[in-house]
Chain A
Amino acid sequence: MPSNPPLRSGGGWCRRRRVGATVRKAMTNPIQPVVLRLTGITKRFGPLVANDGISLTLHAGEVLALLGENGAGKTTLMNILFGHYVADEGTVEAFGHPLPPGSPKAALVAGIGMVHQHFTLADNLSVLDNVAVGTEPLWRFWSDRAAARRRLLELADRFGLGVRPDAPVGDLSVGERQRVEILKALYRDARILILDEPTAVLTPQEATGLFDTLRRLTADGLAVVFISHKMHEVFAVSDTVAVLRGGRLVATRATADTSREELAEMMVGRAVKPPTPTPMVPGEPVLELKDVTVLSGHGRPHLDGADLTVRRHQIVGIAGVSGNGQTALADLVSGLIVPDGGTLALKGQPVRAADAAAMVRRGVARIPEDRHAAGLVGSMAVWENLIAERYRDPAFQRWGVLKRAAARRTAEEAIRAFDVRCPGPDARTQLLSGGNMQKLILGRTLAYGPDLILASQPTRGLDVGAVSYVHGRLLEARAAGAGVLLISEDLDEILAVADCIAVVYHGRITPLLPHDRVSVRQLGLLMAGHWDVLSEIADAA
């Protein structure tokens, strides 16, 4: 993307981390005043204790990383802080004054700004309008746009947040939108900034730019709370890390005094051993795309002359910023669409019609990107979802009458085999946690010995334990002879399990790059469209 900040150092995350650590030592100053103090925050939802006596302090100039699995209570805590929820017990103090509970407005006035994971911008308004909206008195007929523009540009300049004030937000990239969100908070004089999983949508380079901004902000005396479940970011950016688990504060540590392993163990409550792939010799191709084009109906095509081969015993990772053709690729392999040009072949046989049921019959296991919207029917029972791809099999019906007992038995087996935590096969699916829903989908697809697995963002939103479970299952299937197409926006995931990596950008796919011959920096450049790096990789090999 042309608007990326230029790379400041040649190092990957590891180098960054060390640089960050030295800067931090210089910055951590014990005399810095406390700006935010949470004391004994408890919040109950019925029998569930979402926050259990949590106390935290935040100093000026400090970046506090709030680390925890899904459901650990991070979001609840921040919602209490920002006034969306009222705590059952405990107090919030900002700059020495108690914050009235349940008032987002009071939080704003006290100087707390929040950047949500899903941006709250109006696409049809300009950057300037988005930033200034709501800050001007309503009973005045004119708005002082010149002053607003001066203030915006001054802030942008001071903190390295390059934006075009007149561009409509709808035209901006995700990284730019995030900068607008941060500017919006700063424009309202925020002195405490809360960022909810800010890097989930960024390329590594954009993330590096964000961390750079955070350093400038803290140098200026702002305090930052950084919510994350990614370990490397915690080390890249934070001074202090607080780990939440099951609503409790497990520990608060200076980032320099802890390690990845220690944090992971505190998050999950036991030692986590990520599965390690053993090298395997790839077999015959199970999926071949040759010069595939998928038109979008307007503008540039979703896929533009894409070539890709996935073989047995091989996990191919597709890296890329979201919206570069991943969805079209997943839809093709799912049997929802057919190419507008080029050929798609499964195990050597061409695929001619968009037929999801036929793809299942031909041995494709499909894990959809959005398990709530496309994977499962939330209002139906677990057993009904488990047979959703195979209900026409003679095992589950005769003359159109469902064999409910047989379906339930199969469901019980899958629940056991895939460790789905639920009250039973008759439970409504929407009551399951995200990790258990994903296990349900795995149980539906992987139990039948697939030849090809399409895993689209298979671990998005899952906690550390569930992530390593899903990766373990994918590696097992690979050992059993399946080819795996892993589409993910999480580079860590791709680097952890993929044998080969291809990058998708503007609908084109790079040749397969062996995972041990390509660096994070090179992948980041490829994801931003700088494909001249390919020759550098080829030369090195």
Chain B
Amino acid sequence: MRLEPRTHTPLAVRILAPMGAVVAALALCALLVAWTGAPVLTAYGLLVEGAVGSRFALTETLTRATPLILTGLAAAVAFRTRLWNIGAEGQLYMGALAAVVLGGGMLNLPFWLLWPVVLLGGALAGGLTLLGPAVLKVRFGVDEVVTTLLLNFVVLLFVSMLLEGALKDPMGMGWPQSAPVVEAAELPKLVARTRLHAGLVIALALAVLLWLIDTRTIWGYENRAVGANPRAAAFAGMPVTRVMLRTALLSGGLAGLAGAAEVAGLKGYLTLDLSPGFGYSGIVVAMLAQLHPLGVVGAALFIAGIFVGADAMSRAMPVPNYIADVLVATSLLCMLVAGLLARYRLRRG
């Protein structure tokens, strides 16, 4: 038996490979679950039930998936053009910051105008945050992995400073949190008496829009060419610098939008625990989706389901909810292996 490179990967293999990877990840993590002494099948059953088993579970998973879709798209869009944006977390907080500033009552606009302004302001703040590192990259060749990663800490400390100072809610009992946004800045709820908000619809629409741009327009064409071979793209006369800066604005904008939507749709105010690492998880989402905009939706739902389900499971079983992190990480590793194996076929002899 030996492996042999494929010249063409059939669609069935491309769809089955990620599913096989998830099954393999679940099988591997079953060992850890069994180690805690819990019955494996019951534990996984509870996990699935906690993720999609009820109206509440389902809306919680979808709520959790909303920022993950947006940060996943942010990573996917950037990585496709080989802009290694590791700073989605910081861009998310900048977006959230813009949202509480714009939505905090300083603009007196009607409801149908205010929340779009808040979201767009958040996206713009996120986009501009990534534009800086992108300009440094194209002008001076500064490695954007370093600059975007370190900017995360700069942004977090900046937000912390504001929450302790200028933006601190006078009614907040001394907690480092901002004043809540006004009612007109809040996103409409999708399902009554749940936390699910209109951010999900916006995220889904953006995923479809980005997929159309990627495959149907000269923008997407340029992005793919610059991502796959920047030298050949420049030789053919494509505006490589412009493509990079455009991608930076878009990627940072999506991450900023995730932050603004969390504030305007869910929390209402800004604290330093707004995001449990959505920016970093977005990278995992994008990798699981193999950078495909529609795949991002599936990957984000999967990861959100694991986290929400693991929370529910850990309440009923002696399995800590950290199993969610392990499951997601194992899935990513299995996915990378599956992606590699899908490029080969097994041959006897």
Contacts and interface: CB of A to CB of B under 8 A. Distances in A.
Given A388-B225, A391-B221, A377 B232 contact: yes
Contacts of A358: 237
A300 B262 CA distance: 58
Contacts of B228: 377-380
A373 B229 contact: yes
A377 B218 contact: no
A400 B219 CA distance: 7
B225 A374 contact: no
A337 B228 CA distance: 22
A384 B237 contact: no
A409 to B, nearest CB: 17
A56 to B, nearest CB: 27
A360 B237 contact: yes
A400 B237 contact: no
Contacts of A375: 232, 235
A392 B234 CA distance: 14
B250 to A, nearest CB: 15
Contact of B231 (A374, A384, A401): A374
B139 interface: no
Give the most central of A356, A373, A377: most B CB within 10 Å: A377
A402 B237 contact: no
B217 A400 contact: yes
Category for how many chain A residues contact B? 20 to 34
Interface string A370-401: 00011111111000100011011000010011
A389 B233 CA distance: 9
A295 to B, nearest CB: 18
Contacts of B216: 401-402, 404
B237 A356 contact: yes
Contacts, number: 69
Contacts of B347: 46
Given A46-B4, A355-B237, A389-B236, A373 B231 contact: yes
A280 interface: no
B221 A336 contact: no
Interface in A349-366: 355-360, 366
Contacts of A377: 224-225, 228-229, 232-233
A483 interface: no
A324 interface: no
B7 interface: yes
Residue picked from B224, B225, B237, most chain A C-beta under 10 Å: B237
Given A401-B216, A402-B217, A402-B218, A389 B237 contact: yes
Nearest to A46: B4
A356 B234 CA distance: 8
Given A377-B229, A380-B224, A336 B217 contact: no
A313 B43 CA distance: 79
Interface string B149-173: 0000000000000000000000000
Nearest to A370: B231
Given A376-B232, A388-B232, 9 more contacts: A336-B234, A356-B234, A376-B229, A377-B232, A378-B228, A388-B233, A388-B236, A391-B221, A397-B218
24 contacts: A46-B4, A355-B237, A356-B236, A357-B237, A358-B237, A373-B232, A374-B231, A377-B224, A377-B225, A377-B228, A377-B232, A377-B233, A380-B224, A384-B221, A384-B225, A388-B233, A388-B236, A388-B238, A389-B236, A397-B217, A400-B219, A402-B217, A402-B218, A428-B8
Interface of B: 4, 7-8, 216-219, 221, 224-225, 228-229, 231-238, 347
